[in-house]
């Protein structure tokens, strides 16, 4: 599927339908694809409706030949589709879609679904999300004559239609721990309601839901079909929460957006280095093989075990599949200085239960002790540490060192090391508008981290090698900047961008970048 038009190129709203799939039969997925392709809003030109399928570890090659977008995650996540939905949501936000919704691979829409949701979005000022209603269907597509649950406590994932006013909440789907994912839509809806975001409801059903819950068939006096499932044990989540200490409950509350009662006190700081599961995320775009190989080699030589994930921002290099690292390929470039591929990596790290993560861009490389030094700094804090700031050496494009001393705090994406206590903030990276992305690390540090009140540490000596393209650094060292060097971005760019927006859009962007609380 080709590049979608930008908002500036069309007045029609752009809608992304995200379909998470796992091992569903081709016939089911084809039904979902047809239902999106035949949306009346799409066929009439009233909206641009794109369809993104995200494979949760088991991609089906035939999908590449359909008129859809297709993203392959490199492993399954066993969280009821929350991780692939979270990745799709992140891409929708980054790519400037006006709305997004979910249609799981075993469900399908009525032809007027998107049209009715867009109509609902216009029903009142400042609507943040729309709730559609669903029809329960048997495997043969016949209707189950049973009323859905009251909307006061539950909205099915497939019935949400999100507008930008709710985008700052969508990371919660993939951020919630796997142990809570069986009731993920209930928890997510509770967080939305707690935030009092404005909603509109479509009362006429437009979502067809393939029902395989045994209890529904039994309530109707029917024999459940093959493959039917018992009801989810909602008490399992409460039992799991009861095993957590105060620190862990605090982290879970941050990741779910929900208040939780305090658990038993915990003692000590971060986990020792040998017990930590760390993911290094490398965003890459057009770097040459030798540059990427230098990064790969440096990460492989870390003095403590780490996993390495490379995320291609629209220009994948096939040789990476054979070098023993993880590799995810995004289907287009995002032009945001790596924020989107980093955001995809963050989504996977949080979902997969990593204890810590950091970024090493493809043209940079860490010292062998980089991760160990960050973990040691974190372990030395009196209270559990949430994030660490490392230091960097500056290098010319040929790899030689630039002899310059940096006074004061030197903030760069590659110098940030995150532990679980800060994971709930990381969605702000990819949510930043492209207009401020070049200065995104400083905005994230100054606007989000410094204001968060989280516990942080600093590494005393540089452990990261940074390829420098800033003219100012070369001139400070008394050198002529190399070809391709550029001026530092305007430090007031974020403020100027916000000032040029209408009040409603200002609030939305401020929430997305973390200037306003979620």
pLDDT tens for 441-469 read 888 998 899 999 999 999 999 999 999 99
Helix (H, G, I), strand (E, B) or coil at 134: strand
Per-residue pLDDT for 177 more than 70? yes
pLDDT band at 9 (very low <50, low <70, confident <90, very high): low
CB of 91 within 8 A of CB of 330?
yes
CB of 284 within 8 A of CB of 311?
yes
CB of 281 within 8 A of CB of 351?
no
- pLDDT at residue 265 in the model: 56
In whole numbers, what is the pLDDT of the chain averaged over residues? 92
Tell me how far apart the 2 most distant CA atoms of the chain are, in Å: 84
Return the minimum-mean-pLDDT range out of 67-76, 105-114, 397-406. 397-406
Rounded distance between C-alpha atoms, residue 465 and residue 376, angstroms:
19
- pLDDT at residue 269 in the model: 42
pLDDT band at 491 (very low <50, low <70, confident <90, very high): confident
CB of 411 within 8 A of CB of 442?
yes
- pLDDT at residue 410 in the model: 83
Residue carrying the six token digits 């599927």: 1
- pLDDT at residue 8 in the model: 40
- pLDDT at residue 1 in the model: 44
- pLDDT at residue 407 in the model: 63
Q: Which residue from 392, 373, 413, 172 is spatially nearest to 281, judged by alpha carbons? A: 413
- pLDDT at residue 270 in the model: 41
- pLDDT at residue 404 in the model: 84
Percent of the chain predicted with pLDDT > 70: 94
In angstroms, the Cα distances linking 336 to 300, 438, 471 are 27, 7, 20
CB of 20 within 8 A of CB of 104?
yes
Rounded distance between C-alpha atoms, residue 412 and residue 30, angstroms:
45
Over the stretch 278-294, which tens digit does the pLDDT of each residue have?
999 999 999 999 999 99
Q: Within a 10 A sphere around the Cβ of 447, how many other Cβ atoms?
A: 18
Domain boundaries, the chain: 7-219, 233-265, 273-488
Structure token pair of residue 431: 């949510």
Q: Which residue has the higher pLDDT, 434 or 409?
A: 434
Alpha carbon 59 to chain centroid, angstroms: 20
- pLDDT at residue 439 in the model: 84
Residue 243, CA atoms < 13 Å, CB-side half-sphere: 5
Structure token pair of residue 116: 């009715």
Rounded distance between C-alpha atoms, residue 414 and residue 436, angstroms:
18
Q: Which residue from 497, 490, 487 is spatially nearest to 435, judged by alpha carbons? A: 497
Rounded distance between C-alpha atoms, residue 352 and residue 279, angstroms:
10
State the DSSP H helix or E strand holding residue 80, giving kind and residue range, or none if neither.
none
CB of 245 within 8 A of CB of 263?
yes
Exposed/middle/buried for residue 165 (C-beta within 10 Å: 0-12, 13-18, 19+): buried
Over the stretch 13-23, which tens digit does the pLDDT of each residue have?
999 999 999 99
Helix (H, G, I), strand (E, B) or coil at 484: coil
Rounded distance between C-alpha atoms, residue 485 and residue 512, angstroms:
30
Helix (H, G, I), strand (E, B) or coil at 199: strand
Over the stretch 234-287, which tens digit does the pLDDT of each residue have?
789 999 999 999 999 999 999 999 998 765 555 344 444 444 899 999 999 999
Averaged over 95-112, what is the pLDDT? 97
CB of 467 within 8 A of CB of 364?
yes
Q: Which residue from 100, 109, 87, 120 is spatially nearest to 160, judged by alpha carbons? A: 100
Structure token pair of residue 447: 């606007």
Rounded distance between C-alpha atoms, residue 198 and residue 215, angstroms:
32
Q: Which residues contact 175 (CB under 8 A, 6 or more apart)?
A: 86, 255, 256, 350, 351, 423, 424, 427
Helix (H, G, I), strand (E, B) or coil at 492: coil
Percent of the chain predicted with pLDDT > 90: 80
Over the stretch 130-159, which tens digit does the pLDDT of each residue have?
999 999 999 999 999 998 888 888 999 999
Exposed/middle/buried for residue 437 (C-beta within 10 Å: 0-12, 13-18, 19+): buried
CB of 456 within 8 A of CB of 388?
yes
pLDDT band at 498 (very low <50, low <70, confident <90, very high): confident
- pLDDT at residue 273 in the model: 40
- pLDDT at residue 206 in the model: 98
pTM above 0.75, yes or no: yes
Answer whether CATH 1.50.10.20 is correct for domain 273-488: no
Topology match between the domains 7-219 and 273-488: yes
CATH class of 7-219: alpha beta
Alpha carbon 436 to chain centroid, angstroms: 18
């Amino acid at each position: 599927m080709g590049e979608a038009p930008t908002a500036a190129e069309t007045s029609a709203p752009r809608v992304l339908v995200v379909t998470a799939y796992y091992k569903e039969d081709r016939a089911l997925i084809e039904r979902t694809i047809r239902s999106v392709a035949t949306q009346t809003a799409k066929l009439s030109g009233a909206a641009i409706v794109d369809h993104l399928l995200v494979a949760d570890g088991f991609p089906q090659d035939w999908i590449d030949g359909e008129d859809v977008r297709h993203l392959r995650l490199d492993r399954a996540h066993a969280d009821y589709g929350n991780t692939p939905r979270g990745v799709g949501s992140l891409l929708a936000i980054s790519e400037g879609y006006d709305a997004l919704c979910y249609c799981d691979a075993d469900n399908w829409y009525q032809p007027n679904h998107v049209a009715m949701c867009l109509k609902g979005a216009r029903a009142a000022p400042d609507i943040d999300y729309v709730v559609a209603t669903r029809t329960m269907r048997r495997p043969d597509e016949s209707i189950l004559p049973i009323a859905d649950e009251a909307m006061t406590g539950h909205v099915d994932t497939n019935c949400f239609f999100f507008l930008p006013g709710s985008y700052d909440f969508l990371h919660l789907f993939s951020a919630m721990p796997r142990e809570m994912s069986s009731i993920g839509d209930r928890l997510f809806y509770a967080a939305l309601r707690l935030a009092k975001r404005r909603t509109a409801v479509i009362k006429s059903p437009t979502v067809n839901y393939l029902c395989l819950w045994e209890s529904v068939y039994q309530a109707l006096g029917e024999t459940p079909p093959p493959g039917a499932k018992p009801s989810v044990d909602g008490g399992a989540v409460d039992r799991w929460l009861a095993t957590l200490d105060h620190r862990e409950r605090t982290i879970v509350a941050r990741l779910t957006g929900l208040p939780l009662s305090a658990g038993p006190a915990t003692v000590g700081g971060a986990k020792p280095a040998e017990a930590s599961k760390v993911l290094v995320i490398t965003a890459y775009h057009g770097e040459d093989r030798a540059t990427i190989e230098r990064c790969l080699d440096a990460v492989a030589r870390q003095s403590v075990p780490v996993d390495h994930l490379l995320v291609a921002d629209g220009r994948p290099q096939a040789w990476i599949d054979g070098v023993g690292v993880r590799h995810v390929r995004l289907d287009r470039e995002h032009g945001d200085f790596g924020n989107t591929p980093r955001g995809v990596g963050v989504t996977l790290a949080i979902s997969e239960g990593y204890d810590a993560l950091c970024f090493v861009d493809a043209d940079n490389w860490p010292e062998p002790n980089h991760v160990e030094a960050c973990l040691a700094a974190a372990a030395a804090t009196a209270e559990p540490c949430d994030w660490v700031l490392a230091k960097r050496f500056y290098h010319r494009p040929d790899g030689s060192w630039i002899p310059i001393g940096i006074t004061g705090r030197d903030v760069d994406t590659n110098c940030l090391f995150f532990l679980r206590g800060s994971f709930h903030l990381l969605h702000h990276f990819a949510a930043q508008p492209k207009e401020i992305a070049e200065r995104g690390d400083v905005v994230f540090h100054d606007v989000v981290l410094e204001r968060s009140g989280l516990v942080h540490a600093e590494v005393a000596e540089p452990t990261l090698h940074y390829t420098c393209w800033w003219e100012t650094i070369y001139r400070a060292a008394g050198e002529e900047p190399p070809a391709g060097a550029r001026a530092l971005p305007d430090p007031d760019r974020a403020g100027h961008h916000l000032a040029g927006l209408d009040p409603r859009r200002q609030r939305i962007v401020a929430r997305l970048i973390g200037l306003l609380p979620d």
